[in-house]
Amino acid sequence: MAAKLGLNEQQKLALDKELKAAQTERKASMEKMRALREEMKRDAFVERQAKEERLKEILTEEQYTKLKEASKNGQRSRIQDQRNEGEIRGRANRNESRFSPQNNRRNIGRRMIIKKRVAEMKERAKEKNEPKKDGGN
């Protein structure tokens, strides 16, 4: 890289120092983020356990078992729905993407502009077709 940039020795040393410092900072930042992720996972686990305990205090054992079973079935059906949706999407008409909500959001502004322009054009057409009321020939 030094040859491509045409760096002298002093610049090479300064650039190497800067790049190594940036790499060290990046590694430290990544390590900090990793630690935060782990902490968040632990916190979420503790919260889930506390929620489970609160539910056990409120519900009977039988009710709690039914709740767990229902949530498992609900989770399974959501996962199955997502899988089926993916399969259908894979075989779907390729033009389907034109009607996606994301494209609709993009097109809303265009449609509004077009409506406005059409209204302006109709107004101009009316003005041209109306006879003048100023008493002229």
pTM, whole model, 2 decimals?
0.40
- The pLDDT assigned to 108 comes to 75
pLDDT tens, position by position, 32-69: 999 999 999 999 999 999 999 998 999 899 988 888 88
Q: What does the buried/exposed string (b/e) look like for 18-27 if buried means 16 or more CB atoms within 10 Å of the residue's CB?
A: eeeeeeeeee
- The pLDDT assigned to 73 comes to 75
d(CA 119, CA 110): 14
Kindly give the parts of the chain with pLDDT less than 50: 91
- The pLDDT assigned to 93 comes to 53
- The pLDDT assigned to 28 comes to 94
